[in-house]
Chain A
Protein backbone atom coordinates (compact mmCIF):
# COMPACT_ATOMS: atom_id res chain seq x y z
CA UNK A 1 0.00 0.00 0.00
CA UNK A 2 1.40 3.40 -0.90
CA UNK A 3 1.74 5.90 1.96
CA UNK A 4 -0.30 8.44 -0.05
CA UNK A 5 -3.55 6.57 0.67
CA UNK A 6 -5.75 8.39 3.16
CA UNK A 7 -6.13 6.56 6.47
CA UNK A 8 -9.91 6.20 6.10
CA UNK A 9 -9.56 5.02 2.50
CA UNK A 10 -7.04 2.43 3.68
CA UNK A 11 -9.56 1.15 6.22
CA UNK A 12 -12.35 1.02 3.62
CA UNK A 13 -10.03 -0.91 1.29
CA UNK A 14 -9.46 -3.38 4.08
CA UNK A 15 -13.17 -3.80 4.91
CA UNK A 16 -14.54 -4.24 1.37
CA UNK A 17 -14.53 -7.76 -0.06
CA UNK A 18 -13.02 -8.21 -3.54
CA UNK A 19 -15.43 -7.93 -6.47
CA UNK A 20 -18.18 -6.36 -4.34
CA UNK A 21 -20.69 -3.83 -5.67
CA UNK A 22 -19.90 -0.50 -4.02
CA UNK A 23 -21.80 2.80 -4.03
CA UNK A 24 -19.79 5.82 -2.86
CA UNK A 25 -22.15 8.62 -1.81
CA UNK A 26 -20.34 11.92 -2.27
CA UNK A 27 -17.47 10.32 -4.21
CA UNK A 28 -15.85 13.69 -5.10
CA UNK A 29 -13.21 13.14 -7.81
CA UNK A 30 -13.55 9.36 -7.54
CA UNK A 31 -10.25 8.73 -5.73
CA UNK A 32 -11.72 6.06 -3.44
CA UNK A 33 -13.68 4.34 -6.21
CA UNK A 34 -10.58 4.26 -8.36
CA UNK A 35 -8.58 2.65 -5.52
CA UNK A 36 -11.32 0.12 -4.88
CA UNK A 37 -11.60 -0.71 -8.58
CA UNK A 38 -7.87 -1.12 -9.01
CA UNK A 39 -7.06 -2.96 -5.81
CA UNK A 40 -10.26 -4.84 -5.06
CA UNK A 41 -11.83 -5.23 -8.49
CA UNK A 42 -15.09 -3.83 -7.20
CA UNK A 43 -18.06 -2.88 -9.36
CA UNK A 44 -18.02 0.82 -8.49
CA UNK A 45 -20.79 3.41 -8.69
CA UNK A 46 -20.61 6.97 -7.39
CA UNK A 47 -23.07 9.72 -6.48
CA UNK A 48 -21.61 13.22 -6.55
CA UNK A 49 -23.11 16.68 -6.40
CA UNK A 50 -20.52 18.70 -8.36
CA UNK A 51 -20.67 18.44 -12.18
CA UNK A 52 -16.92 19.15 -12.45
CA UNK A 53 -16.20 16.22 -10.17
CA UNK A 54 -18.56 13.97 -12.14
CA UNK A 55 -16.73 14.91 -15.36
CA UNK A 56 -13.42 14.06 -13.67
CA UNK A 57 -14.88 10.68 -12.66
CA UNK A 58 -16.08 10.01 -16.21
CA UNK A 59 -12.57 10.66 -17.48
CA UNK A 60 -11.34 7.99 -15.07
CA UNK A 61 -13.86 5.55 -16.49
CA UNK A 62 -15.96 5.53 -13.34
CA UNK A 63 -19.74 5.29 -13.39
CA UNK A 64 -20.98 8.30 -11.47
CA UNK A 65 -24.41 9.85 -11.25
CA UNK A 66 -24.71 13.52 -10.46
CA UNK A 67 -26.98 13.98 -7.51
CA UNK A 68 -27.44 14.95 -3.91
CA UNK A 69 -27.18 12.34 -1.15
CA UNK A 70 -30.02 14.06 0.66
CA UNK A 71 -32.38 13.83 -2.27
CA UNK A 72 -31.26 11.35 -4.85
CA UNK A 73 -30.61 8.06 -3.07
CA UNK A 74 -33.96 6.95 -4.43
CA UNK A 75 -32.17 6.51 -7.78
CA UNK A 76 -30.97 3.18 -6.51
CA UNK A 77 -33.12 0.11 -6.06
CA UNK A 78 -33.15 -1.80 -2.76
CA UNK A 79 -30.22 -4.10 -2.07
CA UNK A 80 -28.52 -3.19 -5.32
CA UNK A 81 -25.10 -2.87 -3.68
CA UNK A 82 -22.98 -4.84 -1.22
CA UNK A 83 -21.59 -1.66 0.36
CA UNK A 84 -22.69 1.96 0.49
CA UNK A 85 -19.91 4.31 1.55
CA UNK A 86 -20.56 7.70 3.13
CA UNK A 87 -17.27 9.33 4.01
CA UNK A 88 -17.32 12.25 6.47
CA UNK A 89 -20.48 13.82 5.06
CA UNK A 90 -23.30 12.46 7.25
CA UNK A 91 -22.98 15.58 9.43
CA UNK A 92 -23.58 17.74 6.34
CA UNK A 93 -26.85 16.04 5.41
CA UNK A 94 -30.18 17.73 6.02
CA UNK A 95 -31.68 14.43 7.21
CA UNK A 96 -28.89 12.17 8.50
CA UNK A 97 -31.40 9.78 10.02
CA UNK A 98 -33.17 9.18 6.72
CA UNK A 99 -29.88 8.98 4.82
CA UNK A 100 -28.60 6.24 7.13
CA UNK A 101 -31.77 4.22 6.62
CA UNK A 102 -31.53 4.75 2.87
CA UNK A 103 -27.92 3.52 2.77
CA UNK A 104 -28.99 0.28 4.36
CA UNK A 105 -32.00 -0.05 2.09
CA UNK A 106 -29.72 0.21 -0.95
CA UNK A 107 -26.81 -1.83 0.34
CA UNK A 108 -26.25 -4.90 2.52
CA UNK A 109 -23.69 -2.99 4.56
CA UNK A 110 -22.83 0.68 5.00
CA UNK A 111 -19.41 2.16 5.73
CA UNK A 112 -19.94 5.52 7.41
CA UNK A 113 -17.37 7.85 8.90
CA UNK A 114 -18.18 10.81 11.15
CA UNK A 115 -16.13 13.46 12.96
CA UNK A 116 -16.47 13.06 16.75
CA UNK A 117 -17.72 16.16 18.53
CA UNK A 118 -17.04 14.37 21.80
CA UNK A 119 -13.26 14.36 21.21
CA UNK A 120 -11.38 15.82 24.18
CA UNK A 121 -10.07 18.73 22.12
CA UNK A 122 -13.65 19.78 21.30
CA UNK A 123 -14.75 19.49 24.89
CA UNK A 124 -11.71 21.38 26.14
CA UNK A 125 -12.05 24.10 23.52
CA UNK A 126 -15.73 24.64 24.33
CA UNK A 127 -15.10 24.57 28.06
CA UNK A 128 -12.12 26.96 28.11
CA UNK A 129 -13.04 29.35 25.28
CA UNK A 130 -16.81 29.20 25.59
CA UNK A 131 -17.05 29.30 21.79
CA UNK A 132 -17.86 26.76 19.09
CA UNK A 133 -14.65 24.73 18.71
CA UNK A 134 -12.45 25.23 15.66
CA UNK A 135 -10.06 22.30 15.41
CA UNK A 136 -7.98 20.40 12.86
CA UNK A 137 -10.88 18.08 12.20
CA UNK A 138 -13.52 20.85 12.10
CA UNK A 139 -11.71 24.05 11.10
CA UNK A 140 -14.59 26.32 9.99
CA UNK A 141 -16.24 29.04 12.11
CA UNK A 142 -19.80 28.25 13.15
CA UNK A 143 -21.34 30.60 10.59
CA UNK A 144 -19.48 29.05 7.65
CA UNK A 145 -19.41 25.39 8.52
CA UNK A 146 -21.12 22.91 6.19
CA UNK A 147 -21.48 20.65 9.23
CA UNK A 148 -25.06 21.21 10.30
CA UNK A 149 -25.62 17.96 12.17
CA UNK A 150 -22.57 17.26 14.30
CA UNK A 151 -22.65 14.41 16.78
CA UNK A 152 -20.50 12.55 19.26
CA UNK A 153 -19.68 8.87 18.85
CA UNK A 154 -22.18 8.15 21.60
CA UNK A 155 -24.89 10.06 19.70
CA UNK A 156 -24.06 8.12 16.57
CA UNK A 157 -24.17 4.69 18.17
CA UNK A 158 -27.46 5.65 19.89
CA UNK A 159 -28.97 6.60 16.51
CA UNK A 160 -27.81 3.30 14.99
CA UNK A 161 -29.58 1.46 17.80
CA UNK A 162 -32.74 3.53 17.26
CA UNK A 163 -32.71 2.69 13.57
CA UNK A 164 -32.17 -1.00 14.24
CA UNK A 165 -28.70 -0.94 12.72
CA UNK A 166 -25.95 -3.22 13.87
CA UNK A 167 -22.36 -1.98 14.19
CA UNK A 168 -20.17 -4.74 12.78
CA UNK A 169 -16.86 -2.91 13.21
CA UNK A 170 -15.47 0.41 14.37
CA UNK A 171 -12.19 2.13 13.56
CA UNK A 172 -10.82 5.20 15.34
CA UNK A 173 -9.15 7.79 13.12
CA UNK A 174 -6.95 10.64 14.33
CA UNK A 175 -4.97 12.79 11.95
CA UNK A 176 -1.31 11.90 11.81
CA UNK A 177 -1.88 8.58 13.58
CA UNK A 178 -2.51 5.14 12.13
CA UNK A 179 -6.11 3.93 12.16
CA UNK A 180 -6.92 1.51 14.96
CA UNK A 181 -9.79 -0.82 15.66
CA UNK A 182 -11.97 0.22 18.54
CA UNK A 183 -14.93 -0.87 20.60
CA UNK A 184 -17.72 1.29 19.11
CA UNK A 185 -19.47 1.61 22.47
CA UNK A 186 -16.30 2.27 24.45
CA UNK A 187 -16.69 5.28 26.76
CA UNK A 188 -13.04 6.29 26.37
CA UNK A 189 -13.22 6.25 22.56
CA UNK A 190 -15.76 9.05 22.73
CA UNK A 191 -12.91 11.14 24.23
CA UNK A 192 -10.02 9.76 22.20
CA UNK A 193 -11.14 9.36 18.58
CA UNK A 194 -11.02 12.47 16.39
CA UNK A 195 -13.29 10.73 13.94
CA UNK A 196 -14.50 7.18 13.48
CA UNK A 197 -15.49 4.84 10.75
CA UNK A 198 -18.22 2.24 11.20
CA UNK A 199 -19.28 -0.83 9.31
CA UNK A 200 -23.06 -1.11 9.66
CA UNK A 201 -25.64 -3.66 8.69
CA UNK A 202 -29.35 -4.14 9.31
CA UNK A 203 -29.82 -5.84 12.66
CA UNK A 204 -31.25 -9.33 12.18
CA UNK A 205 -34.99 -9.21 12.84
Chain B
Protein backbone atom coordinates (compact mmCIF):
# COMPACT_ATOMS: atom_id res chain seq x y z
CA UNK B 1 0.00 0.00 0.00
CA UNK B 2 1.35 3.43 -0.88
CA UNK B 3 1.98 6.04 1.74
CA UNK B 4 -0.84 8.08 0.22
CA UNK B 5 -3.41 5.32 0.52
CA UNK B 6 -2.29 4.49 4.04
CA UNK B 7 -2.88 8.04 5.22
CA UNK B 8 -5.90 8.23 7.44
CA UNK B 9 -8.73 10.05 5.76
CA UNK B 10 -7.58 8.77 2.39
CA UNK B 11 -9.44 5.51 2.97
CA UNK B 12 -12.79 6.77 1.91
CA UNK B 13 -11.77 9.49 -0.46
CA UNK B 14 -13.62 9.33 -3.71
CA UNK B 15 -14.54 11.51 -6.59
CA UNK B 16 -13.62 12.19 -10.18
CA UNK B 17 -15.02 14.57 -12.72
CA UNK B 18 -18.62 15.26 -13.61
CA UNK B 19 -19.27 16.18 -17.21
CA UNK B 20 -22.15 18.37 -18.27
CA UNK B 21 -22.58 18.12 -22.04
CA UNK B 22 -23.40 20.92 -24.48
CA UNK B 23 -26.91 22.19 -23.77
CA UNK B 24 -26.41 21.54 -20.07
CA UNK B 25 -23.44 23.84 -19.56
CA UNK B 26 -22.85 26.65 -17.12
CA UNK B 27 -24.56 30.01 -17.64
CA UNK B 28 -22.06 32.67 -16.67
CA UNK B 29 -22.62 36.09 -15.14
CA UNK B 30 -20.91 37.61 -18.19
CA UNK B 31 -23.75 36.26 -20.34
CA UNK B 32 -21.62 33.56 -21.97
CA UNK B 33 -22.20 29.83 -21.54
CA UNK B 34 -19.47 27.37 -20.70
CA UNK B 35 -20.08 24.02 -22.38
CA UNK B 36 -19.28 21.27 -22.16
CA UNK B 37 -18.44 21.73 -18.48
CA UNK B 38 -16.32 19.49 -16.31
CA UNK B 39 -16.21 19.71 -12.54
CA UNK B 40 -13.43 17.80 -10.83
CA UNK B 41 -14.14 16.91 -7.21
CA UNK B 42 -13.16 14.77 -4.25
CA UNK B 43 -15.34 13.43 -1.47
CA UNK B 44 -14.46 12.10 1.96
CA UNK B 45 -16.75 9.97 4.09
CA UNK B 46 -20.17 8.58 3.21
CA UNK B 47 -23.45 10.31 2.47
CA UNK B 48 -25.99 9.10 5.03
CA UNK B 49 -29.35 7.63 4.05
CA UNK B 50 -31.19 10.88 4.73
CA UNK B 51 -28.55 12.79 2.71
CA UNK B 52 -28.29 15.20 5.62
CA UNK B 53 -24.57 15.08 6.45
CA UNK B 54 -23.05 16.72 3.35
CA UNK B 55 -20.58 19.54 3.85
CA UNK B 56 -19.19 21.45 0.89
CA UNK B 57 -15.68 22.80 1.34
CA UNK B 58 -14.74 25.72 -0.93
CA UNK B 59 -11.08 26.23 -1.75
CA UNK B 60 -9.06 29.43 -1.94
CA UNK B 61 -7.38 31.11 -4.94
CA UNK B 62 -4.59 28.57 -5.45
CA UNK B 63 -6.25 25.60 -3.75
CA UNK B 64 -8.04 22.69 -5.38
CA UNK B 65 -10.26 19.71 -4.66
CA UNK B 66 -7.49 17.80 -2.88
CA UNK B 67 -8.46 19.23 0.51
CA UNK B 68 -7.57 16.19 2.58
CA UNK B 69 -5.90 13.74 0.24
CA UNK B 70 -2.36 13.55 -1.08
CA UNK B 71 -1.93 16.06 -3.87
CA UNK B 72 -1.27 14.24 -7.17
CA UNK B 73 1.32 16.82 -8.34
CA UNK B 74 3.14 17.80 -5.16
CA UNK B 75 2.74 14.54 -3.22
CA UNK B 76 1.96 16.63 -0.14
CA UNK B 77 -1.05 16.27 2.21
CA UNK B 78 -4.19 18.18 1.26
CA UNK B 79 -4.42 21.89 2.05
CA UNK B 80 -6.96 21.34 4.85
CA UNK B 81 -5.67 18.03 6.11
CA UNK B 82 -5.48 19.58 9.57
CA UNK B 83 -9.24 20.14 9.67
CA UNK B 84 -10.58 17.17 7.68
CA UNK B 85 -9.91 13.68 9.02
CA UNK B 86 -10.80 11.23 11.78
CA UNK B 87 -11.04 13.00 15.13
CA UNK B 88 -10.67 16.39 13.45
CA UNK B 89 -13.40 19.06 13.26
CA UNK B 90 -14.62 17.71 9.89
CA UNK B 91 -14.61 13.98 10.54
CA UNK B 92 -15.32 11.77 7.50
CA UNK B 93 -16.70 9.16 9.90
CA UNK B 94 -19.53 11.58 10.52
CA UNK B 95 -19.81 13.89 7.54
CA UNK B 96 -19.81 13.52 3.78
CA UNK B 97 -17.30 16.14 2.71
CA UNK B 98 -17.22 17.44 -0.84
CA UNK B 99 -14.58 19.67 -2.38
CA UNK B 100 -14.54 20.63 -6.05
CA UNK B 101 -12.04 22.48 -8.18
CA UNK B 102 -13.48 25.88 -9.08
CA UNK B 103 -14.49 26.59 -12.64
CA UNK B 104 -11.54 28.42 -14.21
CA UNK B 105 -9.15 26.28 -12.18
CA UNK B 106 -6.43 23.97 -13.45
CA UNK B 107 -6.91 20.69 -11.58
CA UNK B 108 -9.54 19.12 -13.79
CA UNK B 109 -12.46 21.52 -13.82
CA UNK B 110 -13.02 23.45 -17.04
CA UNK B 111 -10.57 26.33 -17.20
CA UNK B 112 -8.47 28.32 -19.64
CA UNK B 113 -6.17 25.32 -20.24
CA UNK B 114 -9.13 23.11 -21.25
CA UNK B 115 -9.83 22.43 -24.90
CA UNK B 116 -12.34 24.82 -26.45
CA UNK B 117 -14.81 22.57 -28.26
CA UNK B 118 -15.40 25.20 -30.95
CA UNK B 119 -11.70 25.42 -31.97
CA UNK B 120 -10.21 22.17 -30.76
CA UNK B 121 -7.41 24.17 -29.10
CA UNK B 122 -6.87 25.30 -25.50
CA UNK B 123 -9.08 28.26 -24.56
CA UNK B 124 -6.31 30.57 -23.42
CA UNK B 125 -7.71 34.10 -23.36
CA UNK B 126 -10.78 32.93 -25.31
CA UNK B 127 -11.95 31.54 -21.97
CA UNK B 128 -14.80 33.73 -20.71
CA UNK B 129 -14.29 35.89 -17.61
CA UNK B 130 -15.79 34.09 -14.63
CA UNK B 131 -17.06 35.26 -11.25
CA UNK B 132 -17.41 33.91 -7.74
CA UNK B 133 -21.12 33.55 -8.60
CA UNK B 134 -20.19 31.30 -11.55
CA UNK B 135 -17.99 29.14 -9.32
CA UNK B 136 -20.88 28.72 -6.90
CA UNK B 137 -23.37 27.95 -9.68
CA UNK B 138 -21.07 25.16 -10.87
CA UNK B 139 -20.82 23.81 -7.31
CA UNK B 140 -24.61 23.87 -7.03
CA UNK B 141 -24.79 21.78 -10.24
CA UNK B 142 -22.40 19.26 -8.69
CA UNK B 143 -24.29 19.12 -5.40
CA UNK B 144 -27.54 18.55 -7.26
CA UNK B 145 -25.97 15.86 -9.42
CA UNK B 146 -24.84 14.10 -6.24
CA UNK B 147 -28.49 14.00 -5.18
CA UNK B 148 -28.09 16.38 -2.24
CA UNK B 149 -30.92 18.82 -1.60
CA UNK B 150 -29.58 20.59 1.49
CA UNK B 151 -25.99 20.98 2.60
CA UNK B 152 -25.41 20.64 6.32
CA UNK B 153 -22.76 23.30 5.84
CA UNK B 154 -20.80 25.18 3.26
CA UNK B 155 -17.40 26.24 4.54
CA UNK B 156 -14.35 28.00 3.17
CA UNK B 157 -11.55 30.43 3.84
CA UNK B 158 -10.38 33.43 1.83
CA UNK B 159 -11.84 33.03 -1.69
CA UNK B 160 -13.60 29.97 -0.27
CA UNK B 161 -15.27 32.25 2.27
CA UNK B 162 -16.49 34.49 -0.53
CA UNK B 163 -18.06 31.47 -2.20
CA UNK B 164 -19.74 30.69 1.13
CA UNK B 165 -21.27 34.19 1.17
CA UNK B 166 -22.35 33.82 -2.45
CA UNK B 167 -23.99 30.48 -1.60
CA UNK B 168 -25.95 32.20 1.17
CA UNK B 169 -27.09 34.88 -1.25
CA UNK B 170 -27.91 32.63 -4.23
CA UNK B 171 -28.94 29.26 -2.75
CA UNK B 172 -30.02 29.89 0.86
CA UNK B 173 -32.73 27.22 0.54
CA UNK B 174 -29.99 24.62 0.03
CA UNK B 175 -28.07 25.58 3.19
CA UNK B 176 -28.42 24.69 6.83
CA UNK B 177 -25.28 26.49 7.94
CA UNK B 178 -22.41 28.54 6.52
CA UNK B 179 -18.86 29.13 7.77
CA UNK B 180 -16.91 32.03 6.32
CA UNK B 181 -13.25 32.24 7.36
CA UNK B 182 -10.82 35.14 6.74
CA UNK B 183 -12.82 36.57 3.86
CA UNK B 184 -14.52 39.77 2.74
CA UNK B 185 -17.77 40.67 1.02
CA UNK B 186 -15.85 42.64 -1.60
CA UNK B 187 -12.34 43.17 -2.88
CA UNK B 188 -10.70 46.37 -1.66
CA UNK B 189 -8.52 48.68 -3.77
CA UNK B 190 -5.48 47.15 -2.05
CA UNK B 191 -6.65 43.61 -2.86
CA UNK B 192 -7.15 44.53 -6.51
CA UNK B 193 -3.80 46.32 -6.59
CA UNK B 194 -1.86 43.27 -5.41
CA UNK B 195 -3.65 41.07 -7.93
CA UNK B 196 -2.86 43.50 -10.71
CA UNK B 197 0.86 43.26 -9.83
CA UNK B 198 0.59 39.48 -10.17
CA UNK B 199 -1.25 39.62 -13.47
CA UNK B 200 1.18 42.14 -14.93
CA UNK B 201 4.10 39.93 -13.89
CA UNK B 202 2.56 37.01 -15.80
CA UNK B 203 1.73 39.07 -18.86
CA UNK B 204 5.22 40.63 -18.89
CA UNK B 205 6.79 37.18 -19.21
CA UNK B 206 7.68 36.70 -22.92
CA UNK B 207 6.64 33.06 -22.57
CA UNK B 208 3.08 34.08 -21.80
CA UNK B 209 2.52 34.69 -25.57
CA UNK B 210 -0.72 36.57 -25.18
CA UNK B 211 -2.11 33.64 -23.22
CA UNK B 212 -1.37 31.19 -26.03
CA UNK B 213 1.65 29.53 -24.39
CA UNK B 214 0.05 26.06 -24.35
CA UNK B 215 0.11 25.75 -28.16
CA UNK B 216 3.64 27.18 -28.29
CA UNK B 217 4.77 24.50 -25.84
CA UNK B 218 6.14 26.99 -23.30
CA UNK B 219 4.99 28.27 -19.89
CA UNK B 220 5.37 31.75 -18.35
CA UNK B 221 6.99 30.29 -15.26
CA UNK B 222 9.00 33.37 -14.32
CA UNK B 223 5.98 35.64 -14.40
CA UNK B 224 3.78 33.21 -12.48
CA UNK B 225 6.49 32.73 -9.86
CA UNK B 226 6.78 36.49 -9.33
CA UNK B 227 2.99 36.73 -9.04
CA UNK B 228 3.06 34.04 -6.38
CA UNK B 229 5.91 35.72 -4.51
CA UNK B 230 4.07 39.05 -4.34
CA UNK B 231 0.85 37.36 -3.27
CA UNK B 232 2.60 35.21 -0.69
CA UNK B 233 3.76 38.31 1.18
CA UNK B 234 0.11 39.31 1.62
CA UNK B 235 -0.70 35.94 3.20
CA UNK B 236 1.77 36.45 6.05
CA UNK B 237 1.82 39.02 8.79
CA UNK B 238 4.75 41.36 9.24
CA UNK B 239 5.31 39.78 12.67
CA UNK B 240 5.31 36.23 11.28
CA UNK B 241 7.75 37.18 8.53
CA UNK B 242 10.02 38.85 11.06
CA UNK B 243 9.82 35.92 13.48
CA UNK B 244 10.54 33.38 10.75
CA UNK B 245 13.33 35.18 8.92
CA UNK B 246 14.33 38.51 10.41
CA UNK B 247 17.49 39.58 8.56
CA UNK B 248 18.97 36.10 8.66
CA UNK B 249 21.33 35.27 5.80
CA UNK B 250 21.38 32.17 3.66
CA UNK B 251 25.16 31.84 3.88
CA UNK B 252 27.90 33.46 5.94
CA UNK B 253 28.27 37.02 4.74
CA UNK B 254 26.76 38.97 1.89
CA UNK B 255 27.30 38.06 -1.74
CA UNK B 256 27.67 41.70 -2.80
CA UNK B 257 25.35 40.84 -5.68
CA UNK B 258 21.80 39.82 -6.30
CA UNK B 259 21.77 36.23 -5.15
CA UNK B 260 19.24 35.31 -2.51
CA UNK B 261 21.37 36.59 0.39
CA UNK B 262 18.50 36.78 2.84
CA UNK B 263 16.51 33.76 3.96
CA UNK B 264 13.29 35.59 3.21
CA UNK B 265 14.36 35.98 -0.43
CA UNK B 266 15.22 32.32 -0.70
CA UNK B 267 11.88 31.41 0.89
CA UNK B 268 9.90 33.53 -1.56
CA UNK B 269 11.86 32.19 -4.55
CA UNK B 270 11.10 28.67 -3.35
CA UNK B 271 7.40 29.51 -2.97
CA UNK B 272 7.35 30.89 -6.51
CA UNK B 273 9.23 27.95 -8.03
CA UNK B 274 7.10 25.32 -6.27
CA UNK B 275 3.90 27.06 -7.31
CA UNK B 276 4.54 26.96 -11.08
CA UNK B 277 4.71 23.16 -10.97
CA UNK B 278 1.10 22.90 -9.91
CA UNK B 279 -0.63 25.99 -11.22
CA UNK B 280 -1.57 27.40 -14.60
CA UNK B 281 -0.76 31.05 -15.34
CA UNK B 282 -4.00 31.75 -17.20
CA UNK B 283 -6.03 30.20 -14.38
CA UNK B 284 -4.25 32.62 -12.07
CA UNK B 285 -5.34 35.54 -14.28
CA UNK B 286 -8.97 34.38 -14.42
CA UNK B 287 -9.38 33.50 -10.78
CA UNK B 288 -7.78 36.72 -9.52
CA UNK B 289 -10.12 38.58 -11.87
CA UNK B 290 -13.11 36.75 -10.38
CA UNK B 291 -11.98 37.87 -6.93
CA UNK B 292 -11.51 41.49 -8.04
CA UNK B 293 -15.01 41.53 -9.53
CA UNK B 294 -16.51 40.22 -6.28
CA UNK B 295 -18.73 42.74 -4.48
CA UNK B 296 -21.70 40.98 -2.92
CA UNK B 297 -23.29 44.19 -1.63
CA UNK B 298 -23.16 45.79 -5.08
CA UNK B 299 -24.99 42.74 -6.44
CA UNK B 300 -27.82 43.61 -4.05
CA UNK B 301 -28.49 47.28 -4.55
CA UNK B 302 -25.42 48.37 -2.59
CA UNK B 303 -26.81 46.95 0.66
CA UNK B 304 -24.94 43.87 1.85
CA UNK B 305 -27.73 42.92 4.27
CA UNK B 306 -30.05 42.48 1.28
CA UNK B 307 -27.79 39.67 0.02
CA UNK B 308 -28.80 37.66 3.08
CA UNK B 309 -32.50 38.53 3.17
CA UNK B 310 -33.47 34.95 2.16
CA UNK B 311 -30.87 33.37 4.48
CA UNK B 312 -32.45 34.12 7.85
CA UNK B 313 -32.77 30.41 8.64
CA UNK B 314 -29.07 29.72 7.96
CA UNK B 315 -26.69 29.40 10.93
CA UNK B 316 -23.68 31.54 10.16
CA UNK B 317 -20.23 31.40 11.66
CA UNK B 318 -17.78 34.13 10.66
CA UNK B 319 -14.13 33.84 11.68
CA UNK B 320 -11.25 36.25 11.19
CA UNK B 321 -7.60 36.44 12.24
CA UNK B 322 -6.26 39.40 14.17
CA UNK B 323 -3.08 39.72 12.07
CA UNK B 324 -4.71 39.20 8.66
CA UNK B 325 -4.13 42.37 6.64
CA UNK B 326 -5.31 40.89 3.33
CA UNK B 327 -8.91 40.44 4.52
CA UNK B 328 -8.76 42.16 7.90
CA UNK B 329 -11.21 41.66 10.76
CA UNK B 330 -13.03 44.87 9.82
CA UNK B 331 -14.21 43.10 6.63
CA UNK B 332 -15.58 40.21 8.66
CA UNK B 333 -17.27 42.67 11.00
CA UNK B 334 -19.03 44.24 8.02
CA UNK B 335 -20.32 40.79 7.08
CA UNK B 336 -21.50 40.16 10.65
CA UNK B 337 -23.26 43.51 10.76
CA UNK B 338 -25.07 42.71 7.51
CA UNK B 339 -26.06 39.25 8.75
CA UNK B 340 -27.43 40.74 11.96
CA UNK B 341 -29.31 43.37 10.02
CA UNK B 342 -30.80 40.60 7.90
CA UNK B 343 -31.85 38.81 11.08
CA UNK B 344 -29.70 35.73 10.51
CA UNK B 345 -28.40 33.63 13.37
CA UNK B 346 -24.77 34.70 13.53
CA UNK B 347 -21.65 33.83 15.44
CA UNK B 348 -18.35 35.62 15.03
CA UNK B 349 -14.88 35.20 16.52
CA UNK B 350 -11.70 37.10 15.80
CA UNK B 351 -8.94 34.58 16.44
CA UNK B 352 -5.89 36.08 18.09
CA UNK B 353 -2.82 35.03 16.09
CA UNK B 354 0.27 36.58 14.52
CA UNK B 355 0.24 34.17 11.57
CA UNK B 356 -1.64 36.46 9.19
CA UNK B 357 -4.10 35.44 6.49
CA UNK B 358 -2.62 31.96 6.08
CA UNK B 359 -3.58 31.08 9.67
CA UNK B 360 -6.59 29.17 8.34
CA UNK B 361 -4.26 26.48 6.96
CA UNK B 362 -2.05 26.42 10.01
CA UNK B 363 -1.98 25.01 13.50
CA UNK B 364 -4.42 27.33 15.23
CA UNK B 365 -6.10 25.63 18.23
CA UNK B 366 -8.69 28.41 18.60
CA UNK B 367 -9.78 27.87 15.00
CA UNK B 368 -10.08 24.13 15.57
CA UNK B 369 -12.10 24.69 18.75
CA UNK B 370 -14.47 27.12 17.04
CA UNK B 371 -14.99 24.83 14.03
CA UNK B 372 -15.37 21.72 16.15
CA UNK B 373 -17.95 23.36 18.38
CA UNK B 374 -19.87 24.92 15.53
CA UNK B 375 -20.06 21.77 13.39
CA UNK B 376 -20.96 19.52 16.32
CA UNK B 377 -23.78 21.78 17.46
CA UNK B 378 -24.94 22.28 13.87
CA UNK B 379 -25.12 18.53 13.26
CA UNK B 380 -27.06 18.14 16.49
CA UNK B 381 -29.48 20.89 15.53
CA UNK B 382 -30.02 19.35 12.10
CA UNK B 383 -30.79 15.97 13.66
CA UNK B 384 -33.36 17.62 15.92
CA UNK B 385 -35.19 19.40 13.12
The interface of chain A, by Cβ under 8 A from chain B, is 43, 45, 51-52, 54-67, 74-77, 80
Contacts and interface: CB of A to CB of B under 8 A. Distances in A.
A24 to B, nearest CB: 13
B381 A65 contact: no
A66 B381 CA distance: 22
B315 interface: yes
A121 B5 CA distance: 71
B317 A45 contact: no
Contacts of A55: 349, 366, 369-370, 373
Q: Which of B347, B352, B380 has the most CB of A within 10 A?
A: B347
Nearest to A74: B337
A54 B347 contact: yes
Contact of B346 (A57, A59, A61, A63): A63
A57 B347 contact: yes
B77 interface: no
Given A54-B349, A66-B348, A59 B341 contact: no
A65 B376 contact: no
B297 interface: no
A120 B336 CA distance: 45
Given A51-B350, A66-B349, 17 more contacts: A45-B346, A54-B347, A55-B370, A56-B373, A58-B370, A59-B376, A61-B380, A61-B381, A63-B315, A63-B346, A64-B348, A65-B336, A65-B347, A65-B348, A74-B337, A77-B340, A80-B343
Contacts, number: 67
Contacts of B333: 75
Contacts of B350: 51, 66
Interface of B: 315, 317, 333, 336-337, 340-341, 343, 345-352, 366, 369-370, 372-374, 376-378, 380-381
28 contacts: A43-B345, A45-B346, A52-B366, A55-B369, A55-B370, A55-B373, A57-B347, A58-B374, A58-B377, A59-B369, A59-B372, A59-B373, A59-B374, A61-B378, A61-B380, A61-B381, A63-B345, A63-B347, A65-B346, A66-B348, A66-B349, A75-B333, A75-B337, A76-B340, A77-B340, A77-B341, A77-B343, A80-B340
A51 B351 contact: yes
B373 A45 contact: no
Contacts of A75: 333, 336-337, 340
Contacts of B340: 65, 75-77, 80
Q: Which of A57, A63, A67, A75 has the most CB of B within 10 A?
A: A63
A107 to B, nearest CB: 13
A171 B246 CA distance: 59
DSSP majority for the A interface?
Answer: mixed
Contacts of A62: 347, 377
Nearest to A57: B347
A22 B341 CA distance: 15
A43 B374 CA distance: 17
Q: Which of B336, B341, B348, B381 has the most CB of A within 10 A?
A: B348
A65 B373 CA distance: 14
B323 to A, nearest CB: 14
Contacts of A56: 373
Contact of A51 (B337, B341, B343, B349): B349
A126 to B, nearest CB: 40
Contacts of A51: 349-352, 366
A157 B309 CA distance: 39
Contacts of B374: 58-59
Contacts of B369: 55, 59
Nearest to B384: A61
A57 B369 CA distance: 11
